[in-house]
Every structure is written in structure tokens, then in C-alpha cells.
Amino acid sequence: MNDVPQLGDALPLVASDPAWLAAALGDLDSVHADHLHCERKAAQSALSLIRSYPERADLVSAMARLAHDETRHVLQVAGLLARRGQPASYDYGDDYAAALRARIRAREPDRLLDRLLVFAIIEGRSAERLGLLAAALDDARVRELYSGLATAELRHRDMFLALAQGAAPRSWRARAAELAAIEAELLAGRAATARIH
């Protein structure tokens, strides 16, 4: 996955409200518990694309590698929880991701493009917030973990963007900008909580 082109400029995400970082630092147990499920769902999303588009060899290969990467992240976050003596908690869902998925168009080939771009947005937002946490945490080991995960999420974002570019060379950038604007509106209407999204 090291040969993924850097395409993040096509996805102009707004910065998180500083209130999010304050909320996250105020309840790190909730953030870490939520993070475990975010990584699990990222692996599941990659595998769901393989199920939906098995004929696309480029997508199958990329998503298999990404699912492996995300599963490794599940293990890393599970290890963090174990070191903290914190049991994993139930996944109460992610209304942020659900709201983005609700904007995915139903008909192909638009559906494929939108799924790739929504996943890119989620990875981009995760990267930003994990990076904010890494910069703010006192624990050097956790800071290093989150910094590494933030870098990985940026690579995943760019992988999804590269697949979107290949799926719709003429329209992917315009649709990426549209969905980024939708995500900005979504964040503006949300209270800051101690979750990754």
C-alpha cells in the first residue's frame, strides 16, 4: 500500500471543532472503546466492497490489503484497552457514518463512486482526529500508537480516492467536494462527544 498516490487535496475536510478534542481528552476510556469498533467496522466495510464488486480485481486486491491492515489495528487498540485494564464495550452504532451512508446514491455506477468517497471521508476524519489525540496525549506509547494509526488512515483515504478516480475519472473530484461539504454540514450540527466520529 506504499505506492498509493496522495490525493487528499480532492477531499477538503473542515477542521474538527476544538470542543471535540476537549471532550475526547475528558473521557479517553470512551474514545478508546469507540476506536476499537471503528477499526472493526473499517475492516468490515472493506470486505463488503469485495462482496459487492468481485469482478473489479483492483478493488478486490486493495480492499483485501486494507481489511488486513484494519484488523491489525483492531488488535493494536485491543492491546491498548488491555494495558489500561479497560474491557471492550458494546458498539452503540455510529450516527455520523450512517448519515454519510444515507447520501450514497442507489444506482450503479454512482453507488460504487459514492461508497468509495464516503469511506475516504471517514478515513480522512479518523486520521485528523487520531492525529489531534496523538499531539495532545502525555503517554508516549499511546501517542506513538495514535500517530502511526493516523498515518495509516491517511494512506487508506488516498487508496479509496485512487479507486474513486479509477471508477469515475471525469466526475470523482466534483462528487468528492460535494460529499465533503455534506460532511461539514453534518459536523456543524453535532455536539462534541468522546468518540472518534
Q: DSSP characters for 16-64? A: PPHHHHHHHHHTHHHHHHHHHHHHHHHHHHHHHHHHH-TT-HHHHHHHH
* Segments of the chain with pLDDT less than 50: 1
CA dihedral 127, 140, 41, 121 (to 10 degrees): -10
pLDDT at 146: 96
CA dihedral 75, 79, 85, 88 (to 10 degrees): -10
pLDDT digits (tens, 9 = 90+) for 124-144: 999 999 999 999 999 999 999
pLDDT at 149: 96
pLDDT at 6: 78
Kindly report each contact of residues 15-19 with a partner whose C-beta sits within 8 Å and lies 24 or more positions away, as own/partner. Answer: 15/128, 16/125, 16/128, 16/129, 16/132, 16/187, 17/187, 17/192, 19/192
pLDDT at 164: 97
Please check whether residue 156 is in contact with residue 4, taking contact to mean a CB–CB distance below 8 angstroms: no
Alpha-helical segments (H) within 95-139: 95-101, 110-136
Among 157, 146, 129, CA closest to 79: 146
pLDDT at 4: 64
* pTM of the predicted model as reported, rounded to 2 decimal places: 0.94
pLDDT at 170: 96
pLDDT at 2: 52
pLDDT at 3: 65
